[in-house]
Amino acid sequence: MPDAPMAPLILASASPRRRDLLARDGYEFTVVPADVVEISPPELTPAELTLYNARLKARAVAEAHPESLVLGVDTVVAFGGEVFGKPRDMDEALTMVTRMSGRVHEVWSGGWLARGTEESGFTEVTRVRFRALAEPELRAYLARIGPLDKAGGYAAQDDRGELIAHVEGCFDNVVGLPMKMLAKALKKFGS
């Protein structure tokens, strides 16, 4: 929970999971989704990619709201030298979770804070091990959680122990926003 009042905080994301995490920790904020096209060039590392897209989102919203502190966030899943964003369709979601079944992957989030000319970024990585599940179990899981707006095609916050066997690091990061890292970053802005 924030220690002191801060400048108006704007979340430059339409993610309901990020909204829930901020509300859970007592932050007062408004939501202004950034209207930007995210990039995914293969030469960027997952950390660079998430930080770039988070900065893109924060700057786009901060231009219209210079008096506010704007938070942009991006999250991807890294597995086997590939980066998984949000799946295009159910077939791609099934491919993603099938490939990661019984194995370990990394969840990377980049966050960017912008207010006027002040800017600061942060990244977080969490390692996640999936249980080994058969295709019918994976299909039932995907049908239940609606994977199309979730990096890697799965929902940590709705898992119920079905898919995730172990999380090493920040669980909030797997949901979509590393809250402890955010709290540290906000202190740089006197918030």
Q: Hey, which residues are catalytic here?
A: 74
For residues 81 and 155, is the Cβ–Cβ distance under 8 A?
no
How far apart CA 164 and CA 106 sit, in angstroms, is 12
Q: Report the relative pairing of strands 9-11 and 29-31 from DSSP bridges.
A: parallel
How far apart CA 171 and CA 167 sit, in angstroms, is 7
Burial (CB count <10 Å: 0-12, 13-18, 19+), residue 158: middle
Hey, CA dihedral for 155, 22, 123, 32, is it positive or negative? Answer: positive
Instruction: Give the position of tokens 């950390």.
Output: 47
The tokens describing 98, both together, are: 């099938």
- The helix, strand and coil proportions of the chain, stated in percent and rounded to the nearest 5, come to 40, 25, 35
CA 18 to chain centroid: 8
